[in-house]
Chain A
Amino acid sequence: QKEVEQNSGPLSVPEGAIASLNCTYSDRGSQSFFWYRQYSGKSPELIMFIYSNGDKEDGRFTAQLNKASQYVSLLIRDSQPSDSATYLCAVNGVRNVTYKYIFGTGTRLKVLA
């Protein structure tokens, strides 16, 4: 089992819809969780992070963390074509290792105009 797993996609959603991206992790002791957006050929940029169970909202983005079920989600409301990118989930504290993040392979999102 991979330490951080994401469906590679592509996930296709129509413009204006809600895009839901999911990430599961193997270590229940993991501490902090990050979502990055990466456009093709570019470097990742941080969207948001979450530490505690529940929801965290920032503009059109909502991160949801469920530590009991070991998953973290990113919801993008009112999806725009400019949201089309690969979304990377990163987890810190896997196996008590805190000096690095473990990255998933990313989910490719396509927002159709």
Chain B
Amino acid sequence: DGGITQSPKYLFRKEGQNVTLSCEQNLNHDAMYWYRQDPGQGLRLIYYSQIVNDFQKGDIAEGYSVSREKKESFPLTVTSAQKNPTAFYLCASSYGQGYFSNGYTFGSGTRLTVV
């Protein structure tokens, strides 16, 4: 079955540590996205990628980095520069973009906690 796999499901980060969240899809989607969800707030876009080897900053990219070396994979690194990383992180993909997109498919999410 096609889908998006995020790992790990839970992640604990110590102060000053970088951590990487994995996102893999086998839907043959070109576009991939990373969103962050905090209680009482809508999903906020961190980074997105429309094609392999290209990615763009979203609304809250500071303290995060990504790569898109393969169509299937879009890992997110939360660096020590991100001062408030505790959140639910969602990876998504879509077949098209904008008006031609039929919506995102989301992964199951990674819950990151600073300890």
Question: What is the interface of chain A, defined by CB distance below 8 A to chain B?
Answer: 4, 8, 31-32, 34, 42-46, 49, 51, 88, 90, 92-93, 98-106
Chain A residues whose C-beta falls within 8 Å of the C-beta of B48 in the assembled complex:
99-100
Q: Given contact pairs A92-B99, A102-B42, A103-B43, enumerate 9 new A-B contacts (beta carbons under 8 Å).
A: A8-B40, A31-B98, A42-B108, A99-B97, A100-B33, A100-B58, A105-B41, A105-B42, A106-B42
The complex places the Cα of A103 from the Cα of B50 at a distance, in Å, of 19
**CB-nearest residue of chain A to B98:** A98
Tell me which of A51, A100, A102 contacts B99 (CB under 8 A).
Answer: A51
**CB-nearest residue of chain B to A3:** B42
Contact at A32–B106, with CB atoms within 8 Å?
no
The complex places the Cα of A77 from the Cα of B10 at a distance, in Å, of 36
Can you report 6 A-B residue pairs in the complex whose CB atoms are below 8 A from each other?
Answer: A31-B98, A34-B103, A98-B97, A99-B97, A100-B58, A103-B43
Tell me which of B33, B104, B109 contacts A46 (CB under 8 A).
Answer: B104
Contact at B102–A49, with CB atoms within 8 Å?
yes
Contact at B99–A43, with CB atoms within 8 Å?
no
